Amino acid sequence: MVALATVLVAATGCGEDDVRYSDAKIVDQLNLEQTKNGYTIDGNLFCEVSAKLLNDAAEVEAAEEKDDLGLVISSREGNAGVSGVPVFAPECGEKADEKLNRLDPPPKE
């Protein structure tokens, strides 16, 4: 059991650097406008997201684990994301997903 844990730790610790995006970078990428409860995407009140932006993979993963409504939207690599606030229109999730994907490096072929 200890050997397996050692292998898993070694495998996850190799190769890739941790990626973290600032709030400012996410705000700019999604064209977020501040509201009293969080932000809206492109000023659309049906596209409101939480004030707590998800700046790295650990924050995205933690938010996804608590998300019962499927409102966490993350980049392709899961390095950044936002949590939609109900009522969150489906097209808002698609728009956020597309914009967040631009943060991550292009996939290797």
**pLDDT grade, residue 17 (50/70/90)?**
low
Q: What is the pLDDT of residues 55-97, one digit of tens each?
A: 999 999 999 999 999 999 999 999 999 999 999 999 999 999 9
pLDDT at 15: 43
Select the more confidently predicted residue: 15 or 109. 109
pLDDT at 105: 76
Q: What is the pLDDT of residues 22-65, one digit of tens each?
A: 999 999 999 999 999 899 999 999 999 999 999 999 999 999 99
60: tokens are 């995205």
H or E element at residue 50: strand 44-50
41: tokens are 């995407």
pLDDT at 98: 94
pLDDT at 16: 56
pLDDT at 109: 67
| Nearest one of 59, 53, 37 to 99, comparing CA atoms | 53
Give me the percent of the chain exceeding a pLDDT of 70.
83
